[in-house]
Structure 1
């Protein structure tokens, strides 16, 4: 009997417990369904499993018939008691808010991941009710508003991701109460204000991301207490002041990003104590002083970026100890001295950027030891001497820029061995010789600029060796000969600049095959002949400068096909005949220069249809007739020069003509300084006409009188002769 009563009690307890579990599970299911109904895409195929099975349903798991449970739903995980412990709906295309999400219905929730959706609106303060939560990821959504201070109640939290949203306001100090947290990502928001010192209490924090916000003030010293920190990213904010020495305590730090702020002062030498450091980026700040020698102790360092500061002094030779370094960026500073030969020890180096400094002297031959390097940037320094032949050892080199220095002598012929080259800039040096001798087969070369040097000879490249060439700039050298017709085979060419050389002959019609060309710059040569009609086929052209040559004939009408053109300069040539009316089709043209030619007839009124025109120069031609009145409607026109032509009539009433150059046109009149008013001009012309009539009449009368006198004298003489007979 006693056993029977005990069995009944146990059975009753189990039934009550089962009912309790069923009730709690149903409560969670209903809460999830309520939130689903609030979503704008609640019928998403990804959430079709979110439904309640009826008791008499077939093909339903047996446990679902006894109670309403969400445990089999997509993204839902439960514990053994069938309570929801994880909601993982990342990248499910959800579109809605959290306002209908009943946080209090999930007391056992350990993990909530709604990242990479379109969750918008604010973060409800009720999120603080999830007392068991260890992982919270709302990143990569469209959340707005402030971070609720109730986040500080989640004392079991290990990971918090609110990154890539539109959150604003300050960082709540209460986050400093999350003693167990090891991942904190609030980056890519609109957060502002200082970094709360309370975050220095997060002793277990390993990865800390506050980058891409609007945080200001100084970096708190207490961040030096975060001894477990492996990643610290405070980049792209408005932080100021100096880098705190306390960061030297972060012995486990592997990544330190402080770039793109307003930090000032010196780089603390204690940074050299961070022996675990892999990446150091302090670029784009206002740091000054020299590079600390202690940075040479960072033997594990793979990336060092100190560019865009005001660092001075020399490059420490001890940096040659950083054998693991793959990227070294010291560009855009005020560094001086020579490039240390120890840089050749950086056998793992892939990127070396030293441009925009005050470095001088020779490039050390040891640079040829950098067998892994593929980008070498030395532009805008005071480097001199010859380009070292050892550069030919850099067979992985993709980019080599040594522009704006004082290098002299020829380019090493061994450069032809660097078949991986894609971008080459040797411009603005004192290099000489025949440039084509240094180049061989470069199938990936897209950019070649050796302008502003002393190269000479013809352009005798084997153009088939550069099938991908997009930009070719040989301007401001001593190149002579004609333009090779083979250039027309460079089907990918976008920019061709041969200006300021001694090139002769005609513009080859083969250039009409360069259908990708956007800029054609051939000015300041000795080119002759006309403009090939084929250039009208280059519909991608935006910029043409053929000025200062000996081009003649007329301006072809086909130029009107170049609808993307914004700059056209044909000045200082020998073009004649009239300006083609078809230029009106060049609606994007902002600058037109046809000056110093032999153009005649009237200015076409169709120019007024070029509404984008800002500068117009037609000076020193033989243009005649009136200035079209429609110029008064060209509101973008800011500069005009029509001086030294044969124009006449009234000057249009437009502000651009108030300061325009119009001298040398004797027939112009108007309300502009230096020109007579048209009324006075007309009166003067009428008076002149009357004076001319009087003079002509008087002259005619004198001629008649003279004829009469002569006639009378002849008649008198005849009569006298008759009387003598």
Structure 2
């Protein structure tokens, strides 16, 4: 009996030792081996031409008792126990079905196969994969009933099922996922209504149900989503009136109700959205007048209220929206005249008021002068200085001193054509002056010869010279290859930045002339919240300079070079900085015609205001891409940011800026230029897992888990921008969209 007991004890000890070793030692567990075989089986099921993309997925076991280690495979990450926790294979062109037993080991936390060609349904095993944190299946050809395919996930923070063929109704289970921050099921075939249980997702920040077939009214329970920053319901069949409870969503930055069947008036509570950048109300059946509460949307940059039944006059309160860049009021019943205060909306670049009942003079502003005829037609009797429109008011410009021999100043509000004519005239008049041998005294008072019109139309040339003590070094805040930048506080209290060129641009200074002309042209034709505002320029015998808005924080390079300043630029502000730059480049590449390539994106040319909002500056070597042209040019840019292909070709494309953006994004996160890190990056390593710790600026506290996830996403986007092949880099429009998810 005693020997039996001893044998039992020894056997038990051996079992415990084996159990401990198998579960806690470094070799991969048998469960991991099963996971590896499951992944290999999945690889074998894919179409033949896809398998080469997973070349690292091999059976490396030397004998039957050996373990297969999937943790080193491309797109696979494991925990300390060797269990698969991350499957990340986006944008690699895989074609086939998702693995049946995707959650075999039960440890899966991250599953991302977006933008491939997968078909079929979501594996049933994913429904019970309760450790999931982040899921991306968007951009495939998946199908199936979405209300049955997924379960309740206590740790899930992000799920994107958009751009597929899912049908069925939105499950109320989403309201039972306590940590859910993003739910995107856009562009599917989903029907039914919006479940009121969604209002229980207290951590939800982004809800995108757009481009489906959802019906019914918006449940008032959505008003409980106090963390929501993005709500997109565009392109459904929603009806009724907007609930007043929506006004409780004071954190909203992006709100799109367009292309539905909403009726009645717009609730006054929409005026609560003081952080809103975009508001889409278009293609509905809203009636009565546009709400005057729009004036409270102090951050709004785009408003679309087109294709509705709005009547009455355009409320003058819209003019108080100083950040507004795009306004579409077309296809309504608006009447009366256009408020004269539109002339003061300097940031407004796109306007469409077509097909209303408006009459009277068109405001004398850039947005209206540059508007195509189609954006103004279909009204009763508009008149003004717009091409093809009957004039009703003569615009008298400031008369120059009769003794003037050189040209004065042109502002962006005067229009691109006037600018081009003025720039040509500068050098014609300079040449005439040079040929005649005219030699003015360098101490001659320039008033009457040159004058800058500020937005109050006052003469400010002398004020700038006096404010800088004739450009004394005391007021210099930066230096560049072609000029220096000065801070000038005008008597009105307005502070501007003045870029004074090293020479007054005589005809033999070709480089300075070209930079001056290019920067004026680029900044005259652009309007974006993340591009520095341009107030005017001066070309004079003594001083040639450009006038911009003054950005209080200065350059990103200066901030990152100072430990104290860098510590104030926290993770949230850094991520917003990166997004702002992406939005600006997307605008230059895709919303301007011809497209504009900046060519010199760097931390020195990125300025921040008091709120740490990013502003791209210095367009001196920008390139306007000509359609149907090879766009060859000389080498230019800042070392460390220039795309590698420019070492062997002088062909300029938008992808040059994309590469520079990738460098800049990593610099913002690392807190310094990523020189050493860039040398280790190659195209083959762009999709590997990222060790975030080595990427973070050590001067900042460690980011929270949710911020870590966002930073990882940004770093991955930055890596994609650094691809050695320009064709393989994403466009800035795609980058901008990816950073908003």
Q: Deviations 1:279-338 (Å, cap 9, x if unpaired)?
A: 101001111110111101111110111011110001111111100000111111100111
The answer on 1:250 being equivalent to 2:249 is yes
Q: Hey, what does 1:87 align to over in structure 2?
A: 87
Question: 1:13 & 1:318 partners in 2: Cα distance?
Answer: 73
SS in 1 for 2:29: helix
Question: 2:272 & 2:83 partners in 1: Cα distance?
Answer: 49
Q: Hey, what does 1:200 align to over in structure 2?
A: 199
Q: Hey, what does 1:22 align to over in structure 2?
A: 29
Deviation for aligned residue 1:72: 0.7
CA contact (8 A) 1:347 1:371 kept: no
Q: Deviations 1:649-698 (Å, cap 9, x if unpaired)?
A: xxxxxxxxxxxxxxxxxxxxxxxxxxxxxxxxxxxxxxxxxxxxxxxxxx
Q: Hey, what does 2:379 align to over in structure 1?
A: 381
Deviation for aligned residue 1:41: 3.2
The answer on 1:237 being equivalent to 2:236 is yes
Within-5 A mapping of 1:255-270: 255-270=254-269
Q: Using a 3 Å threshold, how does the CA distance of structure 1 residues 177 and 272 change in structure 2: closer, same or farther? A: same
Question: 1:324 & 1:274 partners in 2: Cα distance?
Answer: 14
CA contact (8 A) 1:176 1:199 kept: yes
Q: Using a 3 Å threshold, how does the CA distance of structure 1 residues 132 and 42 change in structure 2: closer, same or farther? A: farther
Deviation for aligned residue 1:10: 8.2
CA contact (8 A) 1:106 1:130 kept: no
Q: Hey, what does 1:144 align to over in structure 2?
A: 143
CA contact (8 A) 1:22 1:68 kept: no
Within-5 A mapping of 1:553-632: none
Deviation for aligned residue 1:251: 0.6
CA contact (8 A) 2:206 2:229 kept: yes
Decide which moves more: 168-177 or 69-78. 168-177
The answer on 1:96 being equivalent to 2:62 is no
Over aligned residues, Cα RMSD in angstroms? 3.5
Q: Using a 3 Å threshold, how does the CA distance of structure 1 residues 88 and 372 change in structure 2: closer, same or farther? A: farther
Gaps in structure 1 of 5+ consecutive residues: 58-64, 389-399, 422-442, 445-467, 469-491, 493-725
Question: 1:119 & 1:82 partners in 2: Cα distance?
Answer: 27
The TM-score with structure 1 as length reference comes to 0.51
Q: Deviations 1:576-633 (Å, cap 9, x if unpaired)?
A: xxxxxxxxxxxxxxxxxxxxxxxxxxxxxxxxxxxxxxxxxxxxxxxxxxxxxxxxxx
How many residue pairs match? The answer is: 401
Question: 2:86 & 2:38 partners in 1: Cα distance?
Answer: 14
Deviation for aligned residue 1:151: 2.1
Question: Radius of gyration: which is bigger?
Answer: 1
Q: Using a 3 Å threshold, how does the CA distance of structure 1 residues 73 and 295 change in structure 2: closer, same or farther? A: same
CA contact (8 A) 2:122 2:149 kept: no
Q: Hey, what does 2:127 align to over in structure 1?
A: 128
Question: 2:63 & 2:31 partners in 1: Cα distance?
Answer: 21
Q: Hey, what does 1:368 align to over in structure 2?
A: 365
CA contact (8 A) 2:325 2:349 kept: yes
Q: Hey, what does 1:77 align to over in structure 2?
A: 77
Deviation for aligned residue 1:363: 2.5
Deviation for aligned residue 1:29: 0.3
CA contact (8 A) 2:182 2:205 kept: yes
CA contact (8 A) 1:136 1:161 kept: yes
SS in 2 for 1:153: coil
Q: Deviations 1:456-482 (Å, cap 9, x if unpaired)?
A: xxxxxxxxxxxx9xxxxxxxxxxxxxx
Judging by fraction of residues, say which structure has more helix.
Answer: 2
Q: Hey, what does 1:213 align to over in structure 2?
A: 212
Question: 1:219 & 1:211 partners in 2: Cα distance?
Answer: 13
The answer on 1:317 being equivalent to 2:316 is yes
Deviation for aligned residue 1:55: 2.1
Question: 1:156 & 1:239 partners in 2: Cα distance?
Answer: 31
Question: 2:45 & 2:133 partners in 1: Cα distance?
Answer: 26
Q: Hey, what does 2:108 align to over in structure 1?
A: 109
Deviation for aligned residue 1:420: 7.2
Question: 1:110 & 1:130 partners in 2: Cα distance?
Answer: 8
SS in 2 for 1:334: coil
Gaps in structure 2 of 5+ consecutive residues: 1-9, 398-413, 422-520, 523-592, 594-627, 629-741
Q: Hey, what does 1:356 align to over in structure 2?
A: 355
SS in 2 for 1:263: strand
Selected match of 2:51 from 27, 44, 50: 44
Question: 2:48 & 2:241 partners in 1: Cα distance?
Answer: 49
Q: Deviations 1:159-180 (Å, cap 9, x if unpaired)?
A: 0110000111211222221121
CA contact (8 A) 1:47 1:74 kept: yes
Question: 2:252 & 2:114 partners in 1: Cα distance?
Answer: 27
Q: Deviations 1:398-440 (Å, cap 9, x if unpaired)?
A: xx6666xx6569999998944679xxxxxxxxxxxxxxxxxxx
CA contact (8 A) 1:46 1:74 kept: no
CA contact (8 A) 2:358 2:382 kept: no
Q: Hey, what does 1:641 align to over in structure 2?
A: none
Question: 2:79 & 2:203 partners in 1: Cα distance?
Answer: 27
CA contact (8 A) 2:210 2:234 kept: yes
CA contact (8 A) 1:363 1:383 kept: no
SS in 1 for 2:231: strand
Selected match of 2:60 from 33, 44, 53: 53
Question: 2:396 & 2:169 partners in 1: Cα distance?
Answer: 58
If asked which structure has higher relative contact order (CA below 8 Å, sep 6+), I would say 2
Q: Hey, what does 1:686 align to over in structure 2?
A: none
Q: Using a 3 Å threshold, how does the CA distance of structure 1 residues 416 and 163 change in structure 2: closer, same or farther? A: closer
Within-5 A mapping of 1:320-359: 320-359=319-358
Q: Using a 3 Å threshold, how does the CA distance of structure 1 residues 10 and 161 change in structure 2: closer, same or farther? A: same
Q: Hey, what does 2:301 align to over in structure 1?
A: 302
Q: Deviations 1:9-63 (Å, cap 9, x if unpaired)?
A: 9865544435995211101101111222222237621111111113279xxxxxx
Q: Deviations 1:339-365 (Å, cap 9, x if unpaired)?
A: 11111221111111111111112224x
Deviation for aligned residue 1:369: 6.9
Selected match of 1:35 from 22, 42, 46: 42
Q: Deviations 1:128-161 (Å, cap 9, x if unpaired)?
A: 1211100011100001121143523222111011
Question: 1:259 & 1:67 partners in 2: Cα distance?
Answer: 55
SS in 2 for 1:105: coil
SS in 2 for 1:108: coil
Q: Using a 3 Å threshold, how does the CA distance of structure 1 residues 343 and 32 change in structure 2: closer, same or farther? A: same
Deviation for aligned residue 1:8: 7.8
Q: Using a 3 Å threshold, how does the CA distance of structure 1 residues 12 and 285 change in structure 2: closer, same or farther? A: closer
Question: 1:43 & 1:331 partners in 2: Cα distance?
Answer: 48
Q: Deviations 1:530-571 (Å, cap 9, x if unpaired)?
A: xxxxxxxxxxxxxxxxxxxxxxxxxxxxxxxxxxxxxxxxxx
Q: Using a 3 Å threshold, how does the CA distance of structure 1 residues 369 and 88 change in structure 2: closer, same or farther? A: closer
Question: 2:368 & 2:307 partners in 1: Cα distance?
Answer: 27
Judging by fraction of residues, say which structure has more strand.
Answer: 1
Question: 2:288 & 2:273 partners in 1: Cα distance?
Answer: 20
SS in 1 for 2:355: coil
